[in-house]
Amino acid sequence: MTEGLGATIFGCAGPGLLAEERAFFREANPFGFIVFARNVETPDQLLRLTSDLREAVGRDAPVLVDQEGGRVQRLRAPHWREWDPPLDTVERAGSVEAAERIMRLRAMVIAAELAAVGIDANCVPTLDVARAATHAFLRNRCYSTDPAVVSRIGRAVADGLMAGGVLPVMKHLPGHGLSQLDTHLDLPTVHVSLDELKAIDFAPFRALNDLPMAMTAHLVFAACDPGLPATQSPRMIGLIRDEIGFKGLLMSDDLNMQALKGTLAERTARTIAAGVDVALHCKGDMAEMQEVAAAAGTMTPAARARADAVIAARKPGTVDVAAALAELADG
């Protein structure tokens, strides 16, 4: 194992940890791991995988997932509950208060399911404010078109996760709702004033800036930095730290997304140089992971302090799943 903590989060190729992956992770010592549908078969298998990932680095490393509900849900039936898209659930609730209660209960149940298989961080709440033109890949993953409602629902989701022993990772800083392109394929540019961004898109992230972890957005905000996506912009990372006030661990969105240009090594180096703490690589491809690990290097002292705070924030869950499901069934 290397002495320093790698400034990376990695996935793996399949449902079981390969010998070459085990050796690589021991050497690269990533901060944590992320699992996808390709890694998921049964609860017993997934618990074995998360345990093996942690054993590979010799510590209780965080294991993350995207379990939003709706289309973005890596753990699915028949072993895990299926959930409606977040925006649909919020709109059906009838009131903000009812939506807060439902989304908190839902997050509690999700957290209990994740914790049971060794997953202790979930990449929600999605605090992007939906707009009429928000790209379909994102729109029903949002909570509302009203930033105040997004903030309230986001807080309820974060509280529900933490009650179940799972840390929230808010996304996509500083706001993805104005994107009219899918960042898996293209780099969007947002053309609105800084005042509008502050009032709408940045507002939910400012309201939840006390959360321990957050993920950046691969968008260009022309009013702030017309030349670089937020993930790779020192100006935007400075805005996230100072204007939005987020002091926790900042991770990139997936570096393989085609919104970013250049080789993986170049994407990684630009991301870390901009001030992002941890580079996220999701694909599980060994050659690519080696490239990212070499370019990311180890965490800076400031990033390491934020990583230590994340580890300290993890607490055991105390969710009564049966009671939460009964309350959800009552509407």
- Residues annotated as catalytic are 184, 253
- Rounded Cα distance between 200 and 266, Å, is 32
- Whether 252 and 216 have beta carbons less than 8 Å apart is answered as yes
Non-local CB neighbours of 23 within 8 Å, separated by 6+ positions: none
